[in-house]
Structures are given as C-alpha cells and as structure tokens.
Structure 1
Amino acid sequence: MPSPSDKRISPPLVDLPIRTASKGFYDGFSREVTIPAKVIVSLLIMWAIFFPVSANETLTAANSTIISTFSGWYVYLVAFLMSACVVLAVIPQSGRLRIGMADEKPEFGRLSWFAMLFGAGIGIGVLTYSTGEPLAHFSNNPDIIRGLVASQSAEAVRSAYIYTFLHWGFAAWGTYALVGLSIGYVAYRRGLPLTIRSALAPLFGKAMSGPFGHLVDIVAVVATILGVAVTMGLGVEQFVAGLARLGLGDWLLDPDGSSSLPAVVLALVILVGASTLSALSGVGKGLKWLSNLNLGLSALLLLIFAIFGSLIFGLKTLGLGIFDYIRTLVPNTLTLFSKDAPFGAELVKWQLDWSVFYWAWWIAFAPFVGMFIARISRGRTIREYIFGVMLVPSLVCFVWMALVGGTAIDLELSGAAGGSIVNAEMSDQLFATLAVLLSPAFAQIAAGLIVILLLTYLVTSADSAILIVNTINGAGETEGDRRHHIIFWGAALAFVVGSMLVLGGIDAIRITMIIGALPFSFVLAAMGVGVVKAVMFDLIRKKQGVPTTSAAVADDVTAPQDTAR
C-alpha cells in the first residue's frame, strides 16, 4: 500500500481569471483595483494639502507607534526573505528551474538587464546616500554609541561601512529578488497574470480571483506610489541642490538650506513630465534607452572619483568593508536592539532611524521593483536570477559607496574639507565633495553631470513605477490604451511628493511610506512562503512525472489542476 508521501500531486493552477472592463474609460483594467487605489492616493494628497496641521500631527503619532511596535517584524521579515532566496538558489534542483518554459531564452542581454536592475532599483538613493550614509555612520553608529570607537575618527571608518553595506546590500536586493521571483515564476511557468496577487495563488488558489486578490493588488499599488515617493523626494531635493550649485539662483533654496516651493514645483514638472512621456513609449523603448544612459553616466561619474578622488583609500575601504559585511551579516541582520541594554535608548533610536526605515523602504519599493524585475527577467534560471539580482547590484552599490563616500571621508580625515562636507545637508554632500576635490570650473562640470544623471534616474524610476502600477491595475496586461491612466499616476506621484515635501520635507514622505509599507509587509511574507511552496511542489511533480508548466498542463488534459498550489 503506498504511503501518503507517494500520493501523486495534481498539476499546478494555470488559470487565475481576473475580471476587467471590456469598454469605457477603464477598458482593460480591473475597476475593483484601479478605482479604490486612485481614491486612496487622491485622499492622501487632499489630506496633506488641505489639512496640513492635522496630517503632520497624525503622521508623527502614527510613525512612532508603528515603528516601535513593528520594528522586530521588519527586521526578521527581511532576514527570512534573504534566506529564502539563498536557499532556492543554492539547492541544485530548484536553482536549475527556469522562470519560464524549459527552452525559453532571456529577452534582454545581461548588460541591459543589469542596467535596468540598477536604474529602476536604487540609483537615485545611491546618488543621495553615496556620501550621506558613510558620513552619517562615520559620525554616529552602534560602535560609536557604545564607546568602542571615536566619532569621525579613522577607527570609525570600518564600522561606518559595515552598516552602510548592511543597508544597501543583500537586504534590499534579496527583498526585490523574492518579489520578482514569486511573481515571475507563476506568471511565466504557469501562465498566471503578471500581478501581485498571482504570487499568492500557490497558497490560496482561485480565491485570489476575488475580493481578497483585489485587496492585495490595491495594497501593492498604494505601497508602490509611497515607496517611489521617497526616492523621488530624495532625488528632487538633490536635483534642486545641484541646480543651486550650478548658479541658477538663490530662489532655489530657503534660508534653512531646504528646497523652496517654486523649486520643488519646477523640478516635479520637469521630472514627472519627462517620466510620463517615457512611460507612454513603453518598457522596450524609452526605459531601456534611459537605463543604458544611466549606466554610462554613472560609470563616467565613478571614473571621475577614481581618477581625482581617494582611489587607494576607497579600494582599501571596499575590501575591508566587504570582508566585515560578510563576517557580520548574520548577527547584524538578526540584531534587534532593546532599551533595557546598556546604551539601549540610543541604539534603539539609531536602528529605527536607519535599519528599520530602510527595511520599510525596501518593502514599500518591492512591488514596483519586484514587478519590474519579473518583467525583464523571463527566461532566466532561478540560480542565475537570484545571484544576478542579489550580487551584481549589491557589488555596484558597495563600489560606489566606497569610492565616492570614501573620498568624502578621506577629505574630512585629512582636514582638506574642514567640515564643509560632513556638515552640509545630505542632499548637498555629493556636490560639496566635488567642490573640495576639483577646481571650481571642473566642479561645475561634474555637478552638471550629476544633475543630468539625477534627471535620468528620476525619470527611469517614475517611468517604471507608472508602468508597473498600470500593469497591476490591468490584471497583469501591458497592452491596450493606457495613456489616460499613465497621465493620472504621473500627476498623482508628483502631487504626493510635492505635498509631502511642503508638509514636512523628506521626513513626512518617509513617515507616510513606513505606514504604507506595513500592510504590504504581510503580503510579502505570504509571497515568500508561496514561492518556496511552489518551487518545492514543482520539484516533487517533476519526480512524479506530473506537468509543472501551463503548456505541459494543457497537453495533459487528463489531470485536474490543484487549485491551491
């Protein structure tokens, strides 16, 4: 008599119908997803514009409550996502499975693939934080708080880069990789719609066609808009700082050094207008061209720092930083500071301001970046996909932070900067570094390059976000007339960023994003469980000779689908 483990598993679910309108303004879209998502984002914008005092007070109160309550959840969730990716990649049987049919080839070459991964992921953040984060941790980090090293000393450099790499390494890209894999695996192997809810089909089956599935996609759309808003807000502030460095007028900055209202409006009109036009051209045209341009301009900027900056210091910092990062990755990923420990209050505050903020940012950014990565990664094996998504962009971030941020730190340690870099606003620190490093004329040219690079990165991120939001709203479809909806989401993104910058600066956007990330974090946890289950059950199916792809299921008409797997 066969044991329960020998029972033949049914083929996977290969049909997840999502109702979309067949005519009218929402032709090709799910009204149940699109309309509520638009209403929620519109209400958020109106609340910030018409009730700024109430909005600011509510955001501040909600921020302290949510972060203090769910900080452990964010920390351990990100650790789980990274672990799931690594396990799926290193197991030989699962690593060989293809995100698509068995003989399918990737749509994009590796160079364009890497360029789009980096450009749509965290290119803007790297420009802002390339100097800002190493300098911040150079001044204050857990080792400095504990009194193990002195602030802004040579001994503080190694610990500064441990935490910089912690935030910009596998945690970010593992989160993105997990979302992209969980969507792409079921979309391209099983023929399910390319949307967030499909990733939960291995757990909940056809239930994802109904209200529960609509709710998942709505949460993903709102999280995407808020996650991208943080990136856009950072980029707008640095873009304005760059224009001011180019001598375009004192009106760009307020007396406190922040971006003025006219400058914010001008920047958003330029950036969102360009991204909307790019989105109208589609992923295969404008976005691919912009991503390749980003890669070239980034390489040119990095070359400037390699030639004129502190190359030896940066390379030494890079080597030690990667060694220290790998050495401390597990304990630092799993550490949750407590107020009861020595220096507990300061350590908890540091972790909430930095690590927990980043984990929330990556989670809020994940539906957008994950969907986009899934869109451009069809045909790759799980192993190639995970190692490519996690390792290559992480290494690029490390090199960037070490050479650019290392130059800034070296200029401060040597006394050449005299505090002009470390004491500048974060949005201006990259320009301040160039001002110390180069002659005035050359610094102006380099600043102009950064402004152009910011423009292309901002356009790429907003462009990608608009396309992905419409893909979710369109039940995974990218065809059809999307023009009016592209324009709506472009304008909505501009108003979210503008209203929050005026309301409370980048902090208001950060708080709003952290709140928006929380609901999606639970969806993300389920996605992690779902993709592990889907892959493991497919491996069992392969052993039993049961079809695992939509094409094979279609050929095997005798076997019923497993509606929960």
Structure 2
Amino acid sequence: MTDIQPPFTDIDINTANAGFYEGYSTPIALASKIAIALLTAWALLLPGSAESILSLLNTEILGVFNMFYILAVGFFAWFLIFVAAVPSSGRRKLGKPDEKPEFSTFSWFAMMFGAGLGVGLMVYATAEPMNLWATNPEILKGKVADRSSEAVQSAFRYTFLHYGLHAWAIYVVTGLCLAYYAYTRDMPLTIRSALTPILGRHVNGPVGAVVDVLGVVATILGVAVTIGFGVSQLVEGLYSITGMEWLLQPGDNGSAPTPSVVGLIAALIVVMGLSILSAVSGVGRGVKYLSNLNLTLSTVLLLIFVIFGSFAFATTTYGTALVDYLLHFASLSVQAYSTDTDLGEWQSANTTFYWAWWIAFSPFVGLFLARISRGRTVREFVLGAVVMPSLVCFAWMTILGGTSIDLELSGIAQGSIVNASQTNMLFATLQHIISEQLFSVVAIMCVVLILTFLVTSADSGLLVINTIMAGGEEETSVMHRIIWGGLLTLVIAALILAGGGGLVVLQNAMIIGALPFAFVMVAMCVSLTKALYRDRHRDRIAEEISIKGQA
C-alpha cells in the first residue's frame, strides 16, 4: 500500500510576547478592530448613508447569491449525514482514543442550545409559524389560502426548514471541522486550522490571517443581530410587566408599538454588562451555570404551554409537520427560486436571510461547540448537535407557535396575535392562555429567560472572539474580554441608532458579512473530506505494519 506523508500541523500564529497585545495575534486583533471601528463610525456619523448603502448591498447580494446560499446549506446537511453514517469517520473520537467528555450530557446540551438558538427561539417561537402561516411558497403558488387551516402544514414545513437539520448543520460543519483538527491533531482551535489540508503552509501567511479576521467579523455581526432581536423582546417583556411608556414608541402607519431607541439602548447596556461579567468567569463557570438555568426555565415555559395552551393541536401538528418536512427534505435542499419572481423575493427575505444569519453565527457557535465537545465521537457530535436540537426546536415551535395559530383559527385571539409586533407575539399569546395574575409571574420568568439567553449568547461570543485572536488559546486575557465586550456594545448601539431603533441595518450588515465566510465553510468541508480520507488511509497502513510486525 502506498505511503502517505504525515498531515501538515505546523501552524505558526505569531502572538505578541509583551505589551498590550501579549498573547494575541496583533495583525488579527488590529484588522478586526479597524473593520468594526469603521463600520461603527460610519453608522454613527452618517446613519442615513449607512442604512441606504447597506440596504442596497444586501439586495444585490441576495439577488446574485441566493442560489449559492440555498445550495451551500443543502450541501452542509447532506455532508454531515454522510460523515456520520460512514463507519470509519463516524466512530472517530474528537480527542485521544481513551479521552472522556469534559462536560456532562445535560450541561453539554444546555450550553450548545443556549449559545446556538436560545434568543432565536424566544423571539421566533410564535412569530415564525405565525408569519409563515400568512405567506410561504405554497400560499404564493395559490395552492392554499393564507391564514387558513390548510396553510398550517406548509407554515410548519418552512418553520422546520429554518430551524431544523439544515440550520443546525451550518453550526456543526464549522464546529466539527475545528474540533477535528484541534483534538485529533493538536492544532490551534482557530478558523485557519480547518483549511490546512488544502492550503498547507499558506495558512501561516496573510491568507490564514484573513480567514481568522473573517471569522471574527462574522461572529461580531451575527451576535449583534441576535442581541438586537433579543433586547427588543426584552423591552417588550419589561413593558408588559411595568407599563413604563418610555420603553415603547408608536409604530409606523398605525402599526403596533415598537421598542424605543432609549429602551433598546438601556436594555443593551444591562445585557452586555452582565455578559462581560460572565465571560470573565469563563466557560466552566459563568457560561455553564447560565446555560443550565436557561434550559431549566425553558422547560418550565414549555410546560406552561403544554398545560394551558393548545397541546392537542400542537401534538397533531408536530407529527404531520415532521413527516411532511422529512418527505420534502431533499427538495428543500436544492430548491432555489429566481429573485425576480414573488417566490424568489420571498425566499431571499426568509430562507436566505436565515441561512446568512446562521452562517454569520457559525464561527462563534461552531468554535464554541468544538470547545465543549472534546472527547465525543464524530457521530455523537453530529447526532447530539444536529438531530437532537432540531427535534427540540420542532417541539418548541409547534407547542408555542401552534397555540398562537390555534387561538387565531378558533377566533379567540381575534387578530390580537397577528397584529402584535414580532417580538411581542409571545406575550400576546400568553395573555390569552393564562390568568392575569399568573401572566405577571410568567412574564417575569420570560424576561429573566430572555436576559439569560442574551447573556449566554454574548459572553460565549466574547470568549470565541478572543480565542480566535489569541491563535486558538482557550485561556485568554480578562482585560481583552472586557474591551471586546465594550466594543461589541458600541457596535450594536451604533447600528441600532443608524436604523432609528430598528434592526434593518443590523440585518443588512450581517448578511453582507456572512457571504465571505460562507465560501470559507465550503472550503472547510472539502478540507475535512480530504483529511478524513487520508487519516483512514494512514490507519490502514498502520494496521498492516502492526500485523506484519506480529507475524
């Protein structure tokens, strides 16, 4: 059997030996700060220009790269299915052969769930099914009427698409690639490591630095959008508890009131202050304990909807929607519409927006997943981080979102949920299923849950940003965690102000920032395929040598 050279693992990321950036890669840190500083200054000094230009760029990107986003994410999902199913790759351990996982399964799942999707579930648990019940491809094709009982199935088909196997595959592709090199080859836990099979020694040069900078910038923008949506819902929740009018402002053209700029900035400062404190304490303490609290409170909220909501409707919907989603899984992986049509416009504003959001979040969540998954097999990682979270998301969406739809279908809500703002639909639904006295208690719990989810997302992001800039080192400077916490706060505040308190600017900046990293992710899959194939070949050669030696 032909011999194969040992894999290239000699990554040399120069870090400062002394001074302010001691232990950090100065080029990566400075380039990241300059890019973010320019975006922040532009948004603050020329908010109108920032909003219009980012919106135009976003429209052009979605028009040109809509098909690329759809096909790339479909490829990620099928790639992971293949890697987990093949025995030689599925049983490989992310670490030494006898290494045990660092965290218990409960804490592992809690941290993964909180960092990956906590805020999104709180905001979109009711809003996503309700929005897709009003418009989705089947409705646009004229096959079913909007907001009808017949439209429920297609509404949840696309809800499951946006929060199911395809979505989590984006995170896990990045996480698996990073974990494989870091824990099987003892390479730095940083983005460039995942490209060594195709770039070789070039990862030690400018190309590697650019890849890491793209990871930092995408992470910052992805976290910014998540925090932006989360603080909006946090303000809505605080208003429902306190009734303080300064938290909201009138909606456009008589629409539902929305969070005020003052309310958003105040909530942002509180969230980021707590996030910095948690990030300083590290993964093993702050992030772990907050994640466990998140999962516990989420379970309580789910039980409230099970007891008081439309559980029978949700159970039936879950079963039929899951079968429908799996039957359409292959077609949804490749179904890309032209953006010149109504279907294309819908797809670019919905599915493609979600894929860009998940991709922007993937350097952060992927690296974080890798950080907490050492000692688990590839198959365990894929099943635990793709399949299980997807099933939980499906249950969450059908129980909470199904209750909202059922209240509208039965006429109980009388349009109060449909007409609520996106971040207030959860509270509007709760007001119909529980008493006024219990609502106050549950609303407080929801506000705490939103707050802890936000803090978990932000502090995990801060830890990951610092890990990348420190050349993969997991123990990073407390001072730099605090500094980046402050910078992230300024970025989000500037983009909120640029959009007049809205989230459009945040979304546009994120979609633009996600595109370059999407190409990096495709290259990471190619690299991992090559690495798995060659490592299997090396194992066979080692086995043959061992057998010959014994003979």
What TM-score, normalized to structure 1? 0.94
Q: Please state how far the C-alpha of 1:430 moved relative to its aligned partner.
A: 0.2
Q: Name the structure 1 match of 2:292.
A: 292
- Contact (CA 8 Å) 1:130, 1:400: kept in 2 or not? yes
Note the alpha carbon deviations across 1:528-549, whole angstroms, 9 max, x for none.
Answer: 11111111110111011189xx
Deviates more, 1:455-464 or 1:200-209: 200-209
Q: Please state how far the C-alpha of 1:382 moved relative to its aligned partner.
A: 0.6
Q: What letter matches 1:218 in structure 2?
A: V
Alignment of 1:145-184 (within 5 A): 145-184=140-179
Counterpart-to-counterpart distance in 1, 2:337 and 2:95: 42
Counterpart-to-counterpart distance in 2, 1:536 and 1:248: 61
Q: Name the structure 1 match of 2:46.
A: 51
Counterpart-to-counterpart distance in 2, 1:493 and 1:237: 17
Size of the alignment, in residue pairs? Answer: 537
Is 2:454 the counterpart of 1:426? no
Q: Please state how far the C-alpha of 1:13 moved relative to its aligned partner.
A: 2.1
| Aligned-partner SS, 2:149 | coil
Question: Alignment partner for residue 18 of structure 1, among 9, 13, 21?
Answer: 13
Is 2:349 the counterpart of 1:353? yes
Counterpart-to-counterpart distance in 1, 2:338 and 2:474: 47
Q: Please state how far the C-alpha of 1:479 moved relative to its aligned partner.
A: 2.3
Q: Please state how far the C-alpha of 1:15 moved relative to its aligned partner.
A: 2.3
Counterpart-to-counterpart distance in 2, 1:60 and 1:94: 43
Q: Name the structure 2 match of 1:3.
A: none
Q: Please state how far the C-alpha of 1:450 moved relative to its aligned partner.
A: 0.7
Aligned-residue RMSD, C-alpha = 1.2
| Aligned-partner SS, 1:378 | coil
Q: Name the structure 2 match of 1:272.
A: 272
Q: Please state how far the C-alpha of 1:265 moved relative to its aligned partner.
A: 1.6
Q: What letter matches 1:10 in structure 2?
A: Q
Counterpart-to-counterpart distance in 2, 1:224 and 1:164: 24
Note the alpha carbon deviations across 1:272-328, whole angstroms, 9 max, x for none.
Answer: 000000000000000000000000000000000000000110111111111111000
Is 2:318 the counterpart of 1:321? no
Q: Name the structure 1 match of 2:379.
A: 383
Any gaps of 5 or more consecutive residues in structure 1? 1-5, 548-565
Note the alpha carbon deviations across 1:75-102, whole angstroms, 9 max, x for none.
Answer: 1111111111111100011111111111
Q: Please state how far the C-alpha of 1:251 moved relative to its aligned partner.
A: 0.4
Note the alpha carbon deviations across 1:330-353, whole angstroms, 9 max, x for none.
Answer: 1012101136xxxx6211111011
Q: Name the structure 1 match of 2:281.
A: 281
Q: Name the structure 2 match of 1:553.
A: none
Counterpart-to-counterpart distance in 2, 1:487 and 1:39: 18
Note the alpha carbon deviations across 1:388-444, whole angstroms, 9 max, x for none.
Answer: 111111111000000000000000000000000011100000000001111111112
| Aligned-partner SS, 1:122 | helix
- Contact (CA 8 Å) 1:182, 1:199: kept in 2 or not? yes
Deviates more, 1:434-443 or 1:304-313: 434-443
Counterpart-to-counterpart distance in 2, 1:371 and 1:300: 29
Q: Name the structure 2 match of 1:521.
A: 518
Q: Name the structure 2 match of 1:558.
A: none
Question: Alignment partner for residue 121 of structure 1, among 116, 139, 148?
Answer: 116
Q: Please state how far the C-alpha of 1:209 moved relative to its aligned partner.
A: 1.2
Q: Name the structure 2 match of 1:552.
A: none
- Contact (CA 8 Å) 2:156, 2:321: kept in 1 or not? yes
Q: Name the structure 2 match of 1:435.
A: 431
Any gaps of 5 or more consecutive residues in structure 2? 252-256, 545-551
Q: Name the structure 1 match of 2:475.
A: 479
Question: Alignment partner for residue 544 of structure 1, among 517, 541, 546?
Answer: 541
Q: Please state how far the C-alpha of 1:524 moved relative to its aligned partner.
A: 0.8
Q: Please state how far the C-alpha of 1:203 moved relative to its aligned partner.
A: 1.2
Aligned-pair identity (%): 48
Note the alpha carbon deviations across 1:144-190, whole angstroms, 9 max, x for none.
Answer: 11111111111110010000000100111111111011011011111
Alignment of 1:87-102 (within 5 A): 87-102=82-97
- Contact (CA 8 Å) 2:67, 2:337: kept in 1 or not? no
Question: Alignment partner for residue 23 of structure 2, among 28, 37, 53?
Answer: 28
